[in-house]
């Protein structure tokens, strides 16, 4: 059994994908081929923003946003304590300091009251250093981006939406990756929309930032890449990945999102009385990057992992450690007391196989195994 079945996805769409790849091979425009711009236009239209700039991966996408805003030494950036490392790593990479914020037990996303408390805990004389909030759409459900935006703008901060897992999700009918002053996503193979290697994208309605990011991704280019007007990086999406993504975006829109909704509903129907099943708020749609349940305690969770493994059912723990306890962030001040939910979640979460090609019988088998453990 696959945790995320990319093999079936390929088999069912092999003709179209192979044709798209062969076209790139024949053109030999491996960098900046016409498919890259075509994909950027399609992604911008789907998400509902003016500009999409693709890049090398989801981490670079976040980095490009912080660089475009000139965030660096001395600056404070708020970020959830329960997320993938990248969301906070990039803050330190540009020389700024992350302020870890606790998350909401039900949705796993940044808790708005905890954000306010984290802001309140910043000394008055340091308030001018607060520059941005990184809101992560964890496991596919958008964060409370409207409420977070309000808090951010009350304090003159920019909003960066890390939509690496949220692509395809919605808040009040509006697509994820459109809520930040800048939003980003990742096309890592296992994400909701994945390519066949590394890839990422930046989304914004702001023309000047879009231009700066286009420059930053090619060595800070000016008129061309031999005219360098700022320090940048080399972070382009290659043409092969763009060609694959054009095909994958088509099936993502056509049926993949819907299939994930169906799989999630089947899981929840069988498991809601057994474990804490994921809660999607009424104004939200999840893209189901993960289907993550919670147990009452860590011992039961670990027993479930072992029991499922015995039956050949793969599971994963996202995430086993909160950001403030990562060794790489050891020098960063944080308050364990204020990050209780995040820390507790690490002990009790379990992600089950989730993808558009999950069959009803497979879900039934997984649920049977879960029910057996819990009883």
Ligand X SMILES: *Cc1c(COP(=O)(O)O)cnc(C)c1O
How many chain residues interact with ligand X (CB under 6 A)?
A: 15
> For residue 276, what are the CA distances in angstroms to 49, 84, 101, 256, 284?
35, 22, 23, 25, 18
Selected binder of ligand X within 83, 204, 286, 290 (CB under 6 A): 83
Q: Is 188 in the site for ligand X (CB under 6 A)?
A: yes
Is residue 59 at the binding interface for ligand X, with CB under 6 A as the rule? yes
Residue range at the interface with ligand X (CB under 6 A); choices 56-64, 72-80, 218-226, 300-308: 56-64
Q: How far is the CB of 273 from ligand X (least distance, A)?
A: 30
**Among positions 9, 57, 277, 290, the unique one binding ligand X when judged by CB under 6 A:** 57
- Of 55 and 363, the one with the shorter C-beta distance to ligand X is 55
Cα distance between residue 320 and residue 186, in whole Å: 21
Minimum distance from residue 185 beta carbon to ligand X (Å): 8
Name the nearest CA neighbour of 106 among 351, 349, 367: 349
Contacts of 211 by beta carbon, 8 Å cutoff, 6+ apart: none
CB of 82 to ligand X, least distance (A): 10
> Which span (6-14, 52-60, 68-76, 271-279) binds ligand X, by CB under 6 A?
52-60
Nearest C-alpha neighbor of 235 from the set 303, 184, 311, 277: 184
Note whether 87 binds ligand X by CB under 6 A.
yes
Which has the closest alpha carbon to 186: 206, 207, 209, 161?
161
Q: Given candidates 9, 54, 109, 165, which one binds ligand X under the rule CB under 6 A?
A: 165
- Rule CB under 6 A: say whether 162 interacts with ligand X: yes
CB-wise, 33 or 58, nearer to ligand X?
58
**3-state SS string over 182-225?**
EEEEECCCCCCCCCCCCCEEEEECCHHHHHHHHHHCECCECCCC
**Closest residue by beta carbon to ligand X:** 58
Nearer to ligand X, 57 or 342 (CB): 57
Q: Name, in order, each residue with C-beta under 8 angstroms of 96's C-beta and a sequence gap of 6 or more.
A: 66, 71, 72, 73, 74, 75, 76, 77, 131
Closest contact distance (angstroms) between CB of 175 and ligand X is: 17
Work out the number of other CB atoms within 10 angstroms of the CB of residue 301: 20
Q: What is the Cα–Cα distance from 145 to 167, expressed in whole angstroms?
A: 14
* Interactions with ligand X, residue window 105-144 (CB under 6 A): 136
Torsion angle defined by CA atoms of residues 335, 341, 345 and 346, in that order, rounded to the nearest 10 degrees: 0
Q: Which is nearer to ligand X, 114 or 363 (CB)?
A: 114
Question: Shortest Cβ distance from residue 202 to ligand X (Å)?
Answer: 12
Binding of ligand X at residue 291 (CB under 6 A)? no
- Minimal distance in Å, beta carbon 86 to ligand X? 4
* 3-state secondary structure at position 322: coil
Under DSSP, is residue 360 helix (H, G, I), strand (E, B) or coil? Answer: helix
CB of 57 to ligand X, least distance (A): 4
68 or 370: CB nearest ligand X: 68
CA angle (44, 24, 254) in 5-degree steps: 45
Cβ proximity to ligand X: between 201 and 369 the closer is 201
Shortest CB 126 distance to ligand X, Å: 26
Between residues 9 and 165, which has the closer beta carbon with respect to ligand X? 165
Tell which one of 9, 35, 54, 86 touches ligand X (CB under 6 A): 86
Distance, in Å, from the CA atom of 132 to the CA atom of 223, rounded to the nearest integer, reads: 30
Q: Minimum distance from CB of 99 to ligand X (Å)?
A: 17
Q: Please, what is the angle between helix 112-120 and helix 145-154, to 10°?
A: 20
């Amino acid at each position: 059994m696959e945790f995320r079945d990319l093999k079936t996805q390929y088999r069912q769409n092999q003709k179209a994908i192979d044709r798209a790849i062969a076209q790139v091979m024949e053109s030999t425009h491996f960098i900046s081929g016409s498919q890259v711009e075509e994909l950027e236009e399609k992604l911008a239209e789907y998400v509902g923003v003016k500009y999409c700039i693709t890049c090398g991966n989801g981490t670079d996408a976040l980095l490009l946003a912080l660089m475009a805003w000139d965030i660096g030494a001395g600056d404070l950036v708020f970020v959830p304590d329960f997320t993938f490392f990248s969301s906070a790593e990039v803050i330190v990479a540009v020389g700024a300091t992350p302020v870890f914020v606790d998350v909401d037990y039900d949705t796993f996303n940044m808790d708005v009251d905890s954000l306010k408390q984290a802001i309140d805990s910043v000394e008055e004389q340091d308030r001018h250093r607060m520059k941005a909030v990184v809101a992560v759409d964890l496991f596919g459900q958008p964060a409370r981006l409207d409420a977070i935006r309000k808090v951010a703008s009350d304090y003159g901060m920019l909003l960066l939406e890390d939509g690496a897992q949220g692509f395809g999700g919605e808040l009040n009918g509006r697509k994820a990756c459109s809520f930040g002053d800048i939003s980003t996503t990742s096309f890592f193979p296992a994400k909701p929309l994945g390519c066949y290697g590394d890839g990422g994208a930046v989304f914004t309605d702001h023309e000047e930032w879009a231009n700066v990011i286009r420059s930053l991704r090619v060595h800070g280019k000016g008129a061309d890449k031999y005219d360098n007007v700022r320090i940048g990086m080399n972070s382009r999406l290659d043409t092969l990945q763009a060609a694959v993504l054009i095909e994958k975006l088509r099936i993502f829109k056509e049926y993949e999102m819907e299939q994930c909704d169906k799989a999630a509903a089947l899981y929840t129907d069988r498991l809601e009385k057994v474990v804490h099943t994921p809660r999607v708020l009424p104004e939200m749609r999840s893209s189901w990057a993960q289907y993550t349940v919670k147990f009452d305690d860590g011992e039961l969770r670990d027993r479930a992992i072992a029991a499922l493994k015995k039956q050949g059912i793969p599971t994963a723990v996202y995430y086993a450690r909160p950001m403030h306890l990562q060794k790489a962030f050891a020098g960063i001040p944080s308050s364990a007391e204020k990050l209780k939910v995040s820390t507790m979640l690490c002990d009790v979460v379990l992600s089950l196989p989730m993808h558009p090609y999950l069959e009803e019988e497979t879900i039934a088998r997984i649920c049977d195994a879960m029910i057996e453990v819990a009883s």
